[in-house]
Chains A and B, each alone.
Chain A
Amino acid sequence: MKDTVSRQRARVATADRAALAPYTVWAVLFILVPLVFVAYYAFTDNAFHFTLDNVKRFFTATSTVIGSDGSAQEVRTYLLIFWRSLKLAVISTVICLAFGYPIAYIMARAAPRVQRTFMTIIMIPMWMNFLIRTYAWMTILQDKGIFNNFLTTLHLPAVHIIGTEAAVVIGMVYDYFPYMILPLYSILAKLDPKLLEAARDLGCSGWGVLKRVVWPLSLPGVISGVTMVLIPSISTFYISQKLGDGKFFLIGDAIEGQYVANNLHFAAAIAFVLMIVLLLCMGLMRKLAGRRVEGGL
């Protein structure tokens, strides 16, 4: 009897494994193997001998930049680029979260028809190619572009946006916004409305309900939203080239540049360092959020 049960279980397990096989093969071929290659390239030289030079170069390479006052300054090239990438990515993520959270919350509470409409509106831009979307923003934000024409017809002074950090941030926010909304919406829609009533019943004002019940329960959605916006925006390269007029060289641009210049080993080293930093960030965030969710005294 017990034997049949365990045999059955074994059979189910075999079936499960069989069903997982295609994905396992896919994951090994296209996720694991490339990662191994990145690491391998990062720590080898052109003759494929082990070396730490590439990683060292990332941290130590310097170049001279001309400050706004005309004086020349020596800077750590890649650390500066990395810092700039991180800054713009964090700003974009914060903006996405600040706008995305209320919208996702309103959506989740709205009538089903309104929810579907909202969802379509948010998804439509994703049907268009990423490059086309970025070009569209170029024509909108140019000095003589659609946005400034609009301002001129209203007799307002034109603003210079293209080629500034603001333009890069606008592009990132636009491109990655749906990735923030979707996980937030799906978790907020699942929130039991009775919990909100219970919180009000137990003395919370509207703000208190948000702070003490809605926000903590939606943290898993916040974490996945932040992850899904922060990671692609930190490593983006195309948006900064087009909307930043090439003035804001980002870490993604650096990887691309080295790759195009056939410096595969150094490109791999930059990618490797970026990956480690991102993993550390995500791990830290999960830990912090986890502690909040646990509650306790």
Chain B
Amino acid sequence: MKKIIELKNITKSFDGEPVLKGINLDIYDNEFLTLLGPSGCGKTTLLRLIGGFETPDEGEVVFLGQVINDVPPHQRNVNTVFQKYALFPHLNVFENVAFPLREKKVPKDEIEKRVTEMLSLVALSGFERRNITSLSGGQQQRVAIARALIGQPQVLLLDEPLGALDLKLRKDMQVELKKIQKQTGITFIFVTHDQEEALSMSDTVVVMSEGKIHQIGTPIDIYNEPINAFVADFIGESNILDGFMLEDFRVTFSGQTFDCLDKGFGYNEAVDVVVRPEDVDIVSLEEGQVAGVVTSVTFMGVHYEIIVDVGGFKWMIQTTDFVDVGEHIGIKLDPDAIHIMKKSEYSDLYGDYSFFSDEMEEAVEGEVKA
């Protein structure tokens, strides 16, 4: 696979506040790459560096082997779909899409042909003369995509483009974007804070926080093999427990020893153990490896989300079987339900579901007293 963009050791500060702290990232031709992280993690700044709207303090932005740190946006073969679309309100749909072609002085009949094609690609044929302001959010979104694609960029940057759309429309646009990316074969760099969106659309997910990249991988890798507690918590729900490795494939936590699939840790090394809520089997007390008490049950539609107190640590479990609050249950874990991570600076920050339930209890008590 051909590398199209390389980011080498990039740092960037605003007013002395570091936003990017040494970013290294290779982006390959034809891939759908997502920069995923909570707001303020630097993902949009990274996108703006690639677009040419910011220059790095240190490090290099390399495009097809050439350093482009100082190349202005209009000379980069990269286009952007902006967060709130940034469509030109004084131009109609046709003229918005034709904008880059008119700048390049493309002949009139070719403009006509290419804009018509592009509008049919984004399912907006017949909207040529419409006013931008008369379009719905989803239609404006598609005009923005058409406008960014018509100049045939090698890379398309998308800055949280679906954030302003309602849930159903967002799902439709996710499918449509993926389809457009396949059809055009252009590299998409997509910024979002929505982990579900990242997992369902991307070839590669880059998880960021606090100006650093935590993990780069396929959606399945990132979900199944999170590198640390931050990633495990940010991508989906996770129970993260303190444990230690007895030997390869044997781990102890919650006072029990379990078989697992991980190896290569030191003898008795302290580790973080990740168990996804949907991977926990609820069994009878006798069959269970661990016992716990159900403290809350929430109906979520497809499943129940229950919180189970196991010796003071609260697990989140997703199950389709109904259990009642106060019931004593057994918990059983298959080896592939357990994922072991090295200890990191994020170790004790995430993954215990007693945090917010305690807070709620206190709040409720306070109210009763008042």
Q: Which residues of A pack against B, CB within 8 Å?
A: 192, 194-195, 197-205, 208, 212-213, 216-217, 293-297
Contacts and interface: CB of A to CB of B under 8 A. Distances in A.
A295 B97 CA distance: 13
A203 B103 CA distance: 7
Interface in B275-304: none
A204 B147 CA distance: 14
Contacts of B53: 197, 200-201
A202 B82 contact: no
Given A203-B104, A296-B129, A198 B92 contact: no
Contacts of B352: none
B95 interface: yes
Interface stretch (B9-17, B83-91, B232-240): B83-91
A216 B79 contact: no
- Residue from B52, B88, B90, B100 having most chain A Cβ neighbours under 10 A: B90
B104 A195 contact: no
B94 interface: yes
A212 B100 CA distance: 11
6 contacts: A197-B80, A199-B88, A199-B99, A202-B99, A202-B148, A296-B95
A294 B53 CA distance: 29
A193 B80 CA distance: 15
B82 A194 contact: yes
B151 interface: yes
A140 B274 CA distance: 83
A293 B90 contact: yes
A295 B95 contact: yes
Contacts of A204: 74, 103
Nearest to A293: B90
B103 A198 contact: no
Contacts of A293: 90
B129 A202 contact: no
B149 to A, nearest CB: 11
Contacts of A297: 94-95
Contact of B82 (A198, A294, A295): A198
Given A194-B82, A194-B84, A295-B95, A201 B73 contact: yes
B72 interface: yes
Nearest to B131: A294
B74 A201 contact: yes
Contacts of B100: 202-203
Contacts of A295: 90-92, 95
A42 B2 CA distance: 82
Nearest to B104: A203
B90 A217 contact: yes
Interface string B308-334: 000000000000000000000000000
B92 A296 contact: yes
A198 B48 CA distance: 12
Nearest to A195: B86
B86 A203 contact: no
B51 interface: yes
B189 to A, nearest CB: 14
A194 B103 contact: no
Given A194-B82, A197-B53, A295-B95, A202 B90 contact: no
Given A199-B88, A199-B99, A200-B74, 5 more contacts: A194-B82, A197-B82, A212-B102, A295-B95, A296-B92
B92 A202 contact: no
A104 to B, nearest CB: 18
Contacts of A208: 74, 103
A16 to B, nearest CB: 25
Nearest to A219: B90
A62 B301 CA distance: 92
Contact of B86 (A194, A205, A216): A194
Given A217-B89, A296-B129, A202 B94 contact: no
Contact of B90 (A192, A200, A203, A216): A216
Given A203-B100, A203-B151, A208-B103, A198 B72 contact: no
Contacts of A213: 88
A294 B73 CA distance: 27
Contacts of A216: 90
A200 B79 contact: no
A230 to B, nearest CB: 23
A196 to B, nearest CB: 9
B161 to A, nearest CB: 13
Contacts of A200: 52-53, 72-74
A247 to B, nearest CB: 45
- Residue from A203, A204, A294 having most chain B Cβ neighbours under 10 A: A203
A197 B94 CA distance: 20
Contacts of B87: 198
Q: 5 tightest A-B contacts by CB? A: A198-B86, A194-B86, A202-B100, A203-B103, A295-B91
A297 B80 CA distance: 25
A203 B92 contact: no
A197 B52 CA distance: 10
A198 B53 CA distance: 10
Contacts of B88: 195, 198-199, 213, 217
Given A295-B92, A296-B95, A203 B74 contact: yes
B102 to A, nearest CB: 8
A294 B79 CA distance: 25
Given A202-B99, A204-B74, A204-B103, A197 B91 contact: no
A148 to B, nearest CB: 48
A296 B95 CA distance: 6
A212 B103 contact: yes
Contacts of A202: 74, 79, 99-100, 103, 147-148, 151
